Structure 1
Amino acid sequence: MISTTIDQEIKQAMLAKDQAKLRGLRAIKAAILLAKTEKGHAEELDQDAEIKILQKLVKQRKESATIYKEQGREDLLLVEQEEIDVISQFLPQQLDQAAIEAVVVRIIAETGATSIKEMGKIMGVANKELAGKADGKLIGEIVKAKLA
């Protein structure tokens, strides 16, 4: 489980006085604790739920980083990038565009989809198969390009 690893990593980051890593780890821990209390139960989250939380954290930080870059706030951009790097260490390896395209092409062939009208069906299968391994926005762009 990611949450037990996070606790150990926090201790190590505190001892090493690594503030950037500590910030990212604390953000992960807070998000996981929040998710546990939102659902109203004390049981552990499964790994898929933890990965979704981490993906959400990375997405939020990327959006913030984009805004900071547009505003010329390099100091805040650096903070966001450091946290993205820390959080990404706990995510599964992301597939490159060629690998995602190969999966999408295979799914299109298996389902027999021929038009953009069937994008929803393809996206459902692709998101399920590529969960945690690829960004949903990128998957959508590739599906749209292949069906167009």
Structure 2
Amino acid sequence: MDLFERVSEDIKQAMKAKDKVSLEALRNVKKYFIEAKTAPGANDILTDEAGLKIIQKLVKQGKDSAEIFIGQNRQDLADVELAQVKVMEVYLPKQMSPEELEVAIKAIIAETGASSAKDMGKVMGVASKKLAGLAEGRAISTLVKELLA
């Protein structure tokens, strides 16, 4: 069962369970999946890889929105966003721990031969590809800066 079918099945389960938070989050995910499938050149196909990228983007947007709501003293709205993020994160691969991420980035730095902050672009290019879905881009970037400094 591919990711699109899995989300569709989970929407049915959320309807039966009357789980409004999950239902809203999953319907939003499915909306973006359908938009991606019907985009010009997509030929009505959505790979799991593309689906994961969509979910990662939605999770990041949800977390960013929650931060903004918290900054505006709207914890009620932040809680809604974070609850939906939690539903979507189930579909993402397990995230790396900070220790695992540091080991992986050190290996990439050694592999690319980077030695200073000037080489950050080179390291980030490789790290972004290798660690896609396993760690947030912001965390990767911060750690690369620290290690190259």
Question: Please, what TM-score do these two structures have when normalized by structure 1?
Answer: 0.96
% identical equivalent positions: 46
Q: Shift in Å at residue 48 of structure 1? A: 1.3
Runs of 4 or more consecutive aligned structure 1 residues displaced over 6 Å after TM superposition: none
Structure 2: distance between partners of 1:138 and 1:89? 20
State the Cα deviation string for residues 39-59 of structure 1 (Å, max 9, x = none). Answer: 443332111111110010001
Question: Please, what TM-score do these two structures have when normalized by structure 2?
Answer: 0.95
Instruction: Tell me what 2:42 maps to.
Output: 41
Matched, 1:67 2:52: no
Structure 2 residue runs of 5 or longer lacking an equivalent are none
> Number of residue pairs matched?
148
Q: Shift in Å at residue 121 of structure 1? A: 0.6
Matched, 1:90 2:91: yes
Q: Shift in Å at residue 78 of structure 1? A: 1.4
**5 Å matches for 1:1-148?**
1-148=2-149
Q: Shift in Å at residue 69 of structure 1? A: 0.6
State the Cα deviation string for residues 85-124 of structure 1 (Å, max 9, x = none). Answer: 0000000001011111100101111221111111111111
Structure 1 residue runs of 5 or longer lacking an equivalent are none
Secondary structure of the 1:41 match is coil
Q: Shift in Å at residue 77 of structure 1? A: 1.1
Structure 2: distance between partners of 1:83 and 1:127? 25
CA RMSD of aligned residues (A): 1.0
